[in-house]
Amino acid sequence: MSVRVRYAPSPTGQQHIGGIRTALFNYFFARAGGGTFILRVEDTDRERSTPDALEDLYATLTWLGVEYDEGPGMDGGYGPYVQSERKQIYREKADELVITGKAYPCFCTSERLDALRKEQKAARKNIGYDRHCREISPDEAAARIEAGEKHVIRLKVPLEGKTVFEDILLGQTGRKNKDINPDPVMLKTDGFPTYHLANVVDDHLMKITHIMRAQEWIPSGPLHVLIYNAFGWAPPAYCHLPMVMGKDGQKLSKRHGSTTVSEFRKAGYLPEALVNYVSLLGWSYDDSREFFSKNDLCELFSLEKINKSPAVFDYRKLDWFNGQYIRMKNPEILKTDLLPILMSDGIISDPPSPEQIDIFNGAFPIIRERLKLLNDITPMLRFLFADPGIGNAEDAIPKKMDAAGAAVALKAGLELLSAATEPPVVGDEDACAAWDEERDADFRRAAEEKEWKIGAMLQPLRLAVTASKVSPPLFPAIRLLGLKESLKRTERLITALENM
Ligand code: GLU
Ligand code: ZN
């Protein structure tokens, strides 16, 4: 039997970490077993589904490189399964359940149900629907439907017994039938199915072998099994994935930081890094290996290695992965990721001038070693393309020093740089490295003589040259900017400090 799995999101919001973890696990499981991965859009909740969420879903999967194998448009066009386009199927299936006596039409008005809810609330007994229409005879029901009376279709949940299901990860779970929501709606008055009916019908019709989804769906498990039973179908295997938590042990949420894929994407994360890191949320290959490309995961993923215990989302670890993937990336391709960021941030023109490209290429080898996020490029390189001004002069003053002291330290730096040889041209790597080392030695010697900390000399100089606390290493930054301009900016900051 070959594996058939699906990712079945409801397009009611942006794709988030938990969702794509489900998508990736299903996708890798299918690939590793030579199976089929299906995308199914569960948009039967018409009020909550939005076109933006749908667009975000497709954009996210494309960005991550998750391709689905099957869909109604696959022969001619291309498209996943979309439940709102399959309304007729669910309607027929709901009717089938009515005919076999497993479900029944309910004619209760919303006024009646509201009153019932209020009554139960007052009595502190929120037991739900009172099965008012369960015993209406099939003939009477048929007549009322014929007469055009509005109705929903409800499942006849058995009044006794227990419904259990087997979870690959968690073992057997179940619930007494009397504790299951009394006779939940399968088909709404507008003819749309509820999530439960559409989900079960599709999993059966699409011959899904394994349901891998978030643990929040465990409570729906027994009800779904009852629906399978009502149709006389066998349920697929279940595997509910461990929760994703923040470091404080609470379910991952906005409070912890970004959670939607689009936020990570905008912040300059690479899809390779996100795929790798998210795949380790609840899965591991062995105790040591951390790096997995998408192709590796398509080979190595297995259900046996999914953990039961909750996974912790560590933003710093993701940043670390991202930095590693930036450095693993082909340099020319990386450049094509970075240049548009500088353009859209207004640091360089669109298209860039040949001069700007030269400056960028000169700085590239240095910043490549330092980037954690692609977007770090802007604060790092701004100083090279335009005069950033003085910035916040306070930032130039080292701890335990005042403005006058910082000015003195900066003057000493100015002297050293004025005496330095002209920096070598970009591209002559050995000569550049030698120049940087000479400066480093000069500054260390001077700091020692004057009994300053080296940081007290470098901090004001960094601010003078770049007007920023984040920048490439200082001496390469000075070399890239040119000695003349660096001296000019240094003098300017000295004056500002002296006048503070
Ligand atoms: N539409 C459900 C969701 O949004 C699918 C749950 C399932 O995978 O069965 O998560
Ligand atoms: Zn009713």
The tens-digit pLDDT sequence of the chain (500 residues) is 799 999 999 999 999 999 999 999 999 999 999 999 999 999 999 999 999 999 999 999 999 999 999 888 655 556 799 999 999 999 999 999 999 999 999 999 999 999 999 999 999 988 899 999 999 999 999 999 999 999 999 999 999 999 999 999 999 999 999 999 999 999 999 999 999 999 999 999 999 999 999 999 999 999 999 999 999 999 999 999 999 999 999 999 999 999 999 999 999 999 999 999 999 999 999 989 999 999 999 999 999 999 999 999 999 999 999 999 999 999 999 999 999 999 999 999 999 999 999 999 999 999 999 999 999 999 999 999 999 999 999 999 999 899 999 999 999 999 999 999 999 988 888 999 999 999 999 999 999 999 999 999 999 999 999 998 777 899 999 999 999 999 999 999 999 999 98
Q: In this structure, which ligand is nearest to the CA of 144?
A: 2
pTM (global) more than 0.85: yes
For residue 469, the model assigns a pLDDT of 77
For residue 75, the model assigns a pLDDT of 57
Cα 151 to middle of ligand 2, angstroms? 8
Cα 363 to middle of ligand 2, angstroms? 72
Domains annotated on the chain, with CATH: 1-77+242-328 (3.40.50.620), 330-383 (1.10.8.70), 387-500 (1.10.10.350)
pLDDT in tens, 438-474: 999 999 999 999 999 999 999 999 999 999 877 789 9
Q: In this structure, which ligand is nearest to the CA of 8?
A: 1
Q: Which atom of ligand 1 is nearest to the CA of 217?
A: 6
Cα 153 to middle of ligand 2, angstroms? 9
Cα 69 to middle of ligand 1, angstroms? 19
Closest to 244 in 3D by CA, of 227, 229, 256, 231: 256
For residue 126, the model assigns a pLDDT of 83
Cα 22 to middle of ligand 1, angstroms? 10
Closest to 406 in 3D by CA, of 299, 284, 489, 496: 496
Q: Which atom of ligand 1 is nearest to the CA of 6?
A: 8
Cα 306 to middle of ligand 1, angstroms? 19
- Residue bearing the CA closest to ligand 1, atom 10: 9
Q: Which atom of ligand 1 is nearest to the CA of 9?
A: 4
For residue 5, the model assigns a pLDDT of 98
Q: In this structure, which ligand is nearest to the CA of 182?
A: 2
For residue 78, the model assigns a pLDDT of 60
Q: Which atom of ligand 1 is nearest to the CA of 12?
A: 4
Q: Which atom of ligand 1 is nearest to the CA of 212?
A: 8
Residue 399 CA: distances (Å) to CA of 394, 461, 481: 11, 15, 27
Cα 137 to middle of ligand 2, angstroms? 13
Q: In this structure, which ligand is nearest to the CA of 185?
A: 2
What is the distance in angstroms between the CA of the first residue and the CA of the last residue of the chain? 78
- Angle among Cα 39, 51, 92 to the nearest 5 degrees reads 55
Residues in the chain: 500
Cα 166 to middle of ligand 1, angstroms? 18
- Residue bearing the CA closest to ligand 1, atom 3: 9
**Ligand 1, residues at Cβ distance < 6 Å:** 8-10, 42, 199, 211, 213, 217
Residue 115 CA: distances (Å) to CA of 112, 121, 129, 158, 181: 5, 10, 11, 25, 18
Asked if 462 contacts 478 with a C-beta cutoff of 8 angstroms, the reply is no
Q: In this structure, which ligand is nearest to the CA of 150?
A: 2
Question: Is 254 considered catalytic here?
Answer: yes
Cβ-in-10-Å burial (0-12, 13-18, 19+) of 121 comes to exposed
Q: Which atom of ligand 1 is nearest to the CA of 7?
A: 8
List 162, 247, 254, 488, catalytic entry: 254
